[in-house]
Amino acid sequence: MTDVVETSGLTKRFGDTTVVAGVDLRVPRGTAFGYLGPNGAGKTTLIRMLLGLTRPSSGTMELLGRPVPEQRREALARVGAIVDEPRFHGHMTGRQNLWVLAAAREPEAHARIDGVLERVGLLERADDRVSRYSMGMRQRLGIAACLLAEPELLILDEPMNGLDPAGMLEFRELLCSLVDEGRTVVISSHLLDEVERTCDAIAIVDRGRVVLQGRLADLRDSADAVLRIDCSDPARAAVLLRLREDVAGVREEEGQLVLRLAADDARTETAAIAHVLLDAGFELYRLQLDHDSLEERFLGLTTRLGEAA
């Protein structure tokens, strides 16, 4: 599978402040990719660099296999993007705004206007002035503007901001349908739950650095495991288990033992721990092995939230 976005050592500094710090990012083609991080982590700045809205301080980047900014025009011809929030001329209608944006694209873009308006459910309101649109309608118009390019790649910055639950559900379905068509959708967001529902690959960014990236399923599988043990005399069992080198963070919680195991060996370790406890005369009532949720990993990796907690 080829990568549609590839950055190497991408860095952006504003004076003494480094906002994006040596980011190496790979976005596989045909996926919904979540670029996840707390507010102020440098997500929007990275997107702005990719799209040529601001210049990087150092590093290289490619979009759809083309180096940017060298081949920016060719690369962006098949990219649709919304940065921050979709902004339009409020005095013009939705259709007029698209018409103006289509003028900046290839000649065929004008012929797509009605189709994309229908696709996002705005055809009936296309001739209303944008100043009368709700936030959700503007978001949909933003997607319509992206689709004018027949994009292979869509880059959407915080697309769920300001949407009500129904709007979010509708928007999620739209994004899924775009991915089903073979397009790649990159979503930058601080909404972990939304990314988890929508994306199949993610990168977690904190303080300008990508601290974790990969397919969501792989990340879940590779997450540390948590073993909960319901047994007799948990305090004495905790003392016994703390002597083992292959377990960490043994603690008592609501009359149970909770301990962490390495993900790759968790099942074998669970069986071994059960044997140790039984051999030592403890009675085992229940063993439950879970992997860390994405939320737990996100909180653990993003220092700002970790510090605040």
User: Which residues bind to other proteins, rule: CB under 8 A?
Assistant: 48, 51-54, 72-77, 79, 81, 83-84, 86-92, 96-97, 99-105, 107, 110, 145, 149
- Least Å distance, CB 74 to other proteins, is 7
In the complex with other proteins, the residue whose CB is nearer, 103 or 169, is: 103
Sheet with 256-261: list strands edge to edge: 248-253, 256-261, 225-231, 284-291
- Least Å distance, CB 12 to other proteins, is 11
Which tokens in the block code for residue 246?
């292959």
Show Cβ contacts of residue 205 under 8 Å, excluding neighbours closer than 6 positions. 23, 35, 36, 37, 41, 42, 43, 46, 211
Measured CA to CA, the distance from residue 245 to residue 235 in angstroms comes to 18
DSSP track, 48-78: HHHTTSS--SEEEEEETTEEETTTHHHHHTT
Which candidate, 83, 49, 48, 78, places its Cα nearest to that of 65? Answer: 78
In the complex with other proteins, the residue whose CB is nearer, 42 or 234, is: 42
Measured CA to CA, the distance from residue 145 to residue 163 in angstroms comes to 18
In the complex with other proteins, the residue whose CB is nearer, 87 or 132, is: 87
How many C-alpha atoms does 304 have within 13 Å on its Cβ side? 13
Which candidate, 10, 5, 26, 4, places its Cα nearest to that of 203? Answer: 26
Q: Are 58 and 64 in contact (CB under 8 A)?
A: no
In the complex with other proteins, the residue whose CB is nearer, 44 or 302, is: 44
Tokens 């997607």 correspond to: 143
- Least Å distance, CB 99 to other proteins, is 7
For residue 189, CA distances in Å to 47, 107, 195, 217, 218 come to 12, 33, 7, 19, 20
Measured CA to CA, the distance from residue 103 to residue 295 in angstroms comes to 43
- Least Å distance, CB 73 to other proteins, is 4
In the complex with other proteins, the residue whose CB is nearer, 115 or 249, is: 115
- Least Å distance, CB 199 to other proteins, is 22
- Least Å distance, CB 300 to other proteins, is 34
Which tokens in the block code for residue 16?
């003494």
In the complex with other proteins, the residue whose CB is nearer, 52 or 300, is: 52
For residue 279, CA distances in Å to 42, 237, 245, 275, 276 come to 53, 12, 18, 6, 5
- Least Å distance, CB 301 to other proteins, is 29
In the complex with other proteins, the residue whose CB is nearer, 29 or 105, is: 105
In the complex with other proteins, the residue whose CB is nearer, 23 or 50, is: 50
- Least Å distance, CB 66 to other proteins, is 10
